[in-house]
Amino acid sequence: MLENSHCVTSLDNLNNYYNISLKRDWLIPLECKPGFSFQKLDLANR
């Protein structure tokens, strides 16, 4: 989607269900791309 100039927002609460370091490593190459944003957010918390 980013390659087609769409804006992408990723949401994750970065809990330890999956390896947190791995999640952060996956974000590194995305964070420098135009149109990408990340929000540390738990949708279960209102």
Any domain includes 45: no
* Structure tokens given for 22: 């791995």
pLDDT at residue 46 greater than cutoff 90: no
What's the rounded Cα separation, in Å, for the pair 19 and 14? Answer: 9
How does residue 41 score in pLDDT terms, banded at 50, 70 and 90? very high
Tokens of 32: 């420098």
* Ranges of H-type helices in the chain: 20-31
Mean pLDDT of 9-28: 93
Residue 43 lies in a domain: no
Q: Which residues contact 27 (CB under 8 A, 6 or more apart)?
A: 10, 38
Mean pLDDT of the chain: 93
Domain assignment present for residue 21? The answer is yes
- Convert the pLDDT of each residue in 20-30 to its tens digit: 999 999 999 99
What pLDDT, on a 0 to 100 scale, did the predictor assign at position 45? 81
* Domain ranges, residue 11: 2-38
Mean pLDDT of the region 15-42:
94
Q: Is 14 inside any structural domain? A: yes
Quote the number of domains for the chain: 1
